[in-house]
Chains A and B, each alone.
Chain A
Amino acid sequence: MSTTLTIDQNRYKCEAGETVLDTLLRENVNLSYACKKGTCHSCLVRSDVAPPGLAQSGLKNTLTKQNYFLACQCYPEQDMQIRLPDQSEFYRMGTVITNKLLNRNTILLVMAFEDAFEFNAGQFVNLQRSDGLTRSYSIANIPEVSNTLEFHIRRLPDGVFSTWLHDEVNVGDSIAVSEPRGHCFYIPERREQGILLVGTGTGLAPLAGILNDALANGHSGPIHLFHGSRELEDLYRIDEMRQLAQQKPNFHYTPCLSGSEVPEGFAAGRVNDIVFSQIPDLKSWRVFLCGHPEMVNLMKKRTFIKGAAIADIYADAFLISYH
């Protein structure tokens, strides 16, 4: 049986026995690929309908939920509308309704949208300035009736976009916002599972969203949040988190400081060490890691060695690209 693949306005016939990748290569569609064995995940694309299970084998559940699949492993069973990774993004305008300091170098930016903005708490969007300059920022809240998105943005020394958001963007301004992206989010299943949230700096943004989502979904297992920075002045939302920990018996919060001054009530050291002194065994835990790329990569390995299953480790490294 042949099927029709649609990309943008173009339609391609996928012959019986052909994979989606075969068809697209035959039609000279530009798509990255490498192993053709389902191993390298280079040809990851997205469909409008649920793809055959085989084409999603080995993918994270947050990807399968969004109908991502491997083009090289997909023998379509029905017509599909396909989104390539580099396909031009749909942007919509949001209006800034809050821009205020959370600590000495981080702002809370809240944007409102006219229509409902669908996302999973913990995903990120690309913000785009009118000159085309684009950066990724994580959504810090859960979907709300007010159609708002909340961001925590740290000022980087000489960072073009973050400085612009800090110094020049005012309430009432509009900014273009992409569709939500990423697969670091909470799925409401196995509610009794332990959840480990580890973030440095503004890595707290996606974690706050994930935390609130898990609590809103009645997650009953223990939820441990470790938020780290060097100095006290670079943490934020400390009182709010402590309060939440008092209200929710299954939520535990540990602010961590790696610098030399560590006041009472804070754990001394790096998050990557403190976590394991409190939770030595992560077998059957779900893990979320967000923030500094080095921390994220190190913790991916360490949490895995301590027993977390690969499929249960979700991570967003806040990669900074030098332009």
Chain B
Amino acid sequence: MSTTLYERIGGEPAVNAAVELFYRKVLDDSTVYRFFGNTDMDTQIAKQKAFFTMAFGGPNNYTGQDMRNAHAKLVTMGLNEDHFNAVMKHLGDTLVELNVPGDLIAEAAAIAESARDDVLGK
């Protein structure tokens, strides 16, 4: 029986571990910091949790339109392909650091990649 990526990667505990590592990288990256820096950190963490749950194909109700809305303000702030690529890299690095097997990382990256146009408002 094929289980979901979310289950194979380790479910909510894996998401929690990933969020901390990922968010630390993002805050320490001067090229994307400004998108994350100004809001309250606890709310941001909760949103990054949603990000990972989604990237892992876990339970979430986000539609493409939700993704557009969530990032629309960032697009007006100048969010572009480079920022997207930086976030993709932090995502990959985080999962490598957590010793997630390469094939699962590729699956997660593909899910995140599929949100590119919505996130960038294209």
Query: Would you call A305 an interface residue if the criterion is a C-beta within 8 Å of the partner chain's C-beta atoms?
Result: yes
The interface-forming segment of A37-45, A89-97, A128-136, A224-232 is: A37-45
Query: Of B23, B24, B41, B43, which is within 8 A of A40 by CB?
Result: B43
> Beyond A57-B12, A301-B41, A304-B27, is A309–B50 a contact (Cβ under 8 Å)?
no
Query: Would you call A244 an interface residue if the criterion is a C-beta within 8 Å of the partner chain's C-beta atoms?
Result: no
Query: Would you call A58 an interface residue if the criterion is a C-beta within 8 Å of the partner chain's C-beta atoms?
Result: yes
B-side contacts of A307, CB under 8 Å: 24
Q: A40-B46, A300-B41, A305-B24 are in contact. List 11 more A-B contacts (CB 8 A).
A: A39-B49, A39-B50, A40-B43, A41-B46, A57-B12, A58-B16, A58-B46, A297-B41, A304-B27, A305-B27, A310-B41
Residues A285-319 near B (CB distance < 8 A)? 297, 300-301, 304-305, 307, 309-310
In the bound assembly, the distance between CA atoms of A309 and B20 in angstroms comes to 7
In the bound assembly, the distance between CA atoms of A37 and B47 in angstroms comes to 11
In the bound assembly, the distance between CA atoms of A300 and B61 in angstroms comes to 30
Residues B4-42 near A (CB distance < 8 A)? 12, 16, 20, 23-24, 27-28, 37, 40-42
Query: Would you call B115 an interface residue if the criterion is a C-beta within 8 Å of the partner chain's C-beta atoms?
Result: no
Residues A29-47 near B (CB distance < 8 A)? 37, 39-41
B-contacting residues of A (Cβ < 8 Å)? 37, 39-41, 57-58, 297, 300-301, 304-305, 307, 309-310
A308 to chain B, nearest CB (A): 10
8 cross-chain CB contacts under 8 A:
A37-B60, A39-B50, A297-B40, A305-B28, A309-B20, A310-B20, A310-B41, A310-B45
Q: How many residues of B contact A (CB 8 A)?
A: 19
Is the CB–CB distance between B47 and A39 below 8 Å? yes
A230 to chain B, nearest CB (A): 25
B-side contacts of A40, CB under 8 Å: 43, 46
B-side contacts of A58, CB under 8 Å: 16, 46, 49
A205 to chain B, nearest CB (A): 23
A-contacting residues of B (Cβ < 8 Å)? 12, 16, 20, 23-24, 27-28, 37, 40-43, 45-47, 49-50, 60-61
A-side contacts of B46, CB under 8 Å: 39-41, 58
Is the CB–CB distance between B50 and A301 below 8 Å? no
In the bound assembly, the distance between CA atoms of A305 and B47 in angstroms comes to 18
A-side contacts of B61, CB under 8 Å: 37
In the bound assembly, the distance between CA atoms of A39 and B50 in angstroms comes to 7
Query: Of B12, B27, B49, B60, which is within 8 A of A301 by CB?
Result: B27
A-side contacts of B45, CB under 8 Å: 310
Query: Of B23, B28, B42, B50, which is within 8 A of A37 by CB?
Result: B50
Is the CB–CB distance between B37 and A301 below 8 Å? yes
B-side contacts of A304, CB under 8 Å: 23-24, 27, 41
A90 to chain B, nearest CB (A): 27
In the bound assembly, the distance between CA atoms of A309 and B28 in angstroms comes to 15
In the bound assembly, the distance between CA atoms of A310 and B43 in angstroms comes to 12
A264 to chain B, nearest CB (A): 35
In the bound assembly, the distance between CA atoms of A310 and B21 in angstroms comes to 11
B-side contacts of A57, CB under 8 Å: 12
In the bound assembly, the distance between CA atoms of A39 and B43 in angstroms comes to 8
